[in-house]
Chain A
Amino acid sequence: MRIFDPHIHMTSRSTDDYEAMAAAGIVAIVEPAFWLGQPRTNVGSFVDYFNSLIGWERFRASQFGIRHFCTIGLNPKEANNPKLSKEVLESLPRFLGKDGVVAVGEIGFDDQTDEEEACLARQIELAAEFKLPILIHTPHRDKKRGTERTIAVVRKAGFPEERVLIDHNNEETLPIVLATGCWAGHTIYPNTKMDEHRMAALVKKYGSSRIIVNSAADWGISDPLKVPKTMAVMREQGIGEDTIETIVWDNPVAFFSQSGRLDLAGIDQPPTIDRAEKFATNSVLRGDQGQVPS
């Protein structure tokens, strides 16, 4: 079964991770723009990061046979720096029209401040302008209230709910999201957010409609194989193959296809990988000849 990880921060991961993901059947990923674990101090730092998502990282993924797409946006934490957020928001239109940018994100609430709400609202306007879906980050703290507030902002903007993916759900927020027209993402982490067994229980309770799972692997304690590992637990729990395929392939494909830029042509063919290929004179090789395991 082909697997789509619709939320993974590959910039923080190694080539070993790409190898393992490809071996586990992951053929397509979405890397949302997020924060780097500590605050950036100037807009140029964002511009270079966005460029790396649509450039070097996409190329790096291709060297392991993985189709890489991204979302571009100002994350909620850094929305609280007024000077920076203004400049970053002004830079976004330069990126939102590019190939392979399949949503605005991840955007939403962190501390749930007024500044965060203003940046969220502005980026929803940009998504409408560029006809893109949006990927919503829900906060770690006061999550239920933050999820409700997010939905209120989306509705106030009149943005189509079927183009909204609300991520990092748990037992309490999932029913709230499913009561809307939005899609519901779940981040399967080793310690926090959600785990495989809890996820399988949610699928048994709520089914597969508009349900999405991801690893959100990043620089924290996380695991880029959490989607295939969740599939294994779902199988153990007797969840059918059709349901699993809906969750790990059909749903993310249907959601991000709304961008009109999710190019999956040829995804069924085994990839031809030439690791001597270069991106702006850089290859992923470090001296060896780049034998690709068959």
Chain B
Amino acid sequence: MTVAALQETFEALLAARVGPEAARWLESARAAAAASSLDPMLALYSAAAIRVGRAPLALSAAEHALLAGLLPGLSFERWTIDDVARALLLMARREAGRTDDDFVADATACFEHADAREQQSWLRAVSMWPESARFLPTVIDACRTNIVPVFESIACENPYPGRHFPERNFNQVILKALFNSIALSRVVGLAGRINPELSRMARDYAAERTAAGRSVPADIAMAIGADAGGQEQPS
């Protein structure tokens, strides 16, 4: 899967969804993103929502299937049109022949200057880059957010934590999801990342909730894993 091939798919998705004015803006913005110094790129990355809109992407079954083939594990269920436009701007910058280091630095700058909504776009797309592993420190730090939709954009429907996070950070994502009442079924690859420390943390969390006279999340068994044993699973 090359970024160039993905770019064509994303272009087609947007072409079917935006009007002529937005399409013209996007074309010129992509050219500018490829050519410009960083400041204009940052401004374009922010402006995407105003220019192309924020409507849900609402993929057809055929489009879902096409993307599932190109990017296994990444769900586009919650993507919006501006998410795709922002991904196209980063692709344009990446494909303009810069070094990997330049791309990582510029993309990181887009995240650091982003508002919460722009951060969501960035995090939703982060697993698709060939150099995605290099964004690990930024993504781990992004998980420290208090803004739940930003946290969800990386923790949920996103293969990145399951693929790239060290065990300790992955476990923190799961505990934070439980803490924020986020269904663990939304975490991609959880079943394959169960580990004894995560089981221990989830059991302790259940005990803490019980001691406080509070309910225990119904899906906590997903974090405890198969070795939990029927008797010991919290109700």
B199 → chain A closest CB, angstroms: 12
- CB neighbours of B140 from chain A (8 A): 80
- Find out whether the CB atom of B144 lies under 8 angstroms from the CB atom of A142: no
- Find out whether the CB atom of B144 lies under 8 angstroms from the CB atom of A77: yes
**Is B72 in contact with chain A by the CB < 8 A criterion?**
no
Q: With A111-B169, A170-B211 as known contacts, state yes or no: A145 contacts B141, CB within 8 Å.
A: no
- CB neighbours of B172 from chain A (8 A): 111, 141
- Find out whether the CB atom of A38 lies under 8 angstroms from the CB atom of B204: no
- CB neighbours of B213 from chain A (8 A): 198
**Is A41 in contact with chain B by the CB < 8 A criterion?**
yes
B176 → chain A closest CB, angstroms: 6
- Report Cα–Cα, A57/B110, bound state, in Å: 34
- Find out whether the CB atom of B175 lies under 8 angstroms from the CB atom of A142: yes
Partner of A141, one of B147, B179, B212: B179
**Is B27 in contact with chain A by the CB < 8 A criterion?**
no
Q: How many residues of B are in contact with the other chain, CB < 8 A? A: 21
Interface range, A side: 20 to 34
Partner of B144, one of A111, A170, A220: A111
**Is A143 in contact with chain B by the CB < 8 A criterion?**
yes
- CB neighbours of A143 from chain B (8 A): 208
Q: With A170-B212, A172-B211 as known contacts, state yes or no: A41 contacts B112, CB within 8 Å.
A: yes
Q: With A143-B208, A172-B207 as known contacts, state yes or no: A37 contacts B146, CB within 8 Å.
A: yes
- Find out whether the CB atom of B175 lies under 8 angstroms from the CB atom of A141: yes
- Find out whether the CB atom of B179 lies under 8 angstroms from the CB atom of A142: no
B117 → chain A closest CB, angstroms: 14
- Report Cα–Cα, A39/B145, bound state, in Å: 8
- Report Cα–Cα, A198/B179, bound state, in Å: 20
- Report Cα–Cα, A113/B171, bound state, in Å: 12
> Which secondary structure dominates chain A's binding surface?
loop
**Is A180 in contact with chain B by the CB < 8 A criterion?**
no
- CB neighbours of B144 from chain A (8 A): 39, 77, 80, 110-111
- Find out whether the CB atom of A38 lies under 8 angstroms from the CB atom of B212: no
- Report Cα–Cα, A194/B140, bound state, in Å: 28
B216 → chain A closest CB, angstroms: 14
Partner of A142, one of B141, B147, B201, B212: B201
- Find out whether the CB atom of B208 lies under 8 angstroms from the CB atom of A170: yes
Residue of B nearest to A41 (CB): B112
- Find out whether the CB atom of A38 lies under 8 angstroms from the CB atom of B168: no
Q: Taking each of B112, B207, B208, B213, which has the highest tally of chain A beta carbons within 10 Å of its own beta carbon? A: B208
Q: With A111-B172, A171-B212 as known contacts, state yes or no: A80 contacts B204, CB within 8 Å.
A: no
**Is A282 in contact with chain B by the CB < 8 A criterion?**
no
- Find out whether the CB atom of B208 lies under 8 angstroms from the CB atom of A172: yes
A88 → chain B closest CB, angstroms: 16
- CB neighbours of A198 from chain B (8 A): 212-213
**Is A144 in contact with chain B by the CB < 8 A criterion?**
yes
- Report Cα–Cα, A220/B141, bound state, in Å: 20
Residue of B nearest to A193 (CB): B212
- Report Cα–Cα, A23/B95, bound state, in Å: 64
**Is A209 in contact with chain B by the CB < 8 A criterion?**
no
- Report Cα–Cα, A112/B144, bound state, in Å: 12
**Is A140 in contact with chain B by the CB < 8 A criterion?**
yes
**Is A81 in contact with chain B by the CB < 8 A criterion?**
yes
13 contacts between A and B (CB under 8 A): A39-B141, A80-B144, A111-B144, A112-B168, A140-B179, A141-B175, A141-B179, A142-B175, A142-B201, A142-B204, A145-B204, A170-B212, A171-B212
Binding site for B on A (CB under 8 A): 37-39, 41, 77, 80-81, 110-113, 140-145, 170-172, 194, 198, 220
Please give me the 7 A-B residue pairs with the lowest Cβ-Cβ distance, nearest first. Answer: A141-B175, A171-B211, A142-B201, A111-B172, A37-B146, A172-B211, A77-B144
Binding site for A on B (CB under 8 A): 112, 140-141, 144-147, 168-169, 172, 175-176, 179, 201, 204-205, 207-208, 211-213
Starting from the known contacts A142-B201, A172-B207, 19 additional A-B residue pairs (CB-CB under 8 Å) come to A37-B146, A38-B145, A38-B146, A110-B144, A111-B168, A113-B168, A140-B179, A141-B172, A141-B175, A142-B175, A142-B204, A142-B205, A144-B208, A145-B201, A145-B204, A170-B208, A170-B212, A171-B208, A198-B212
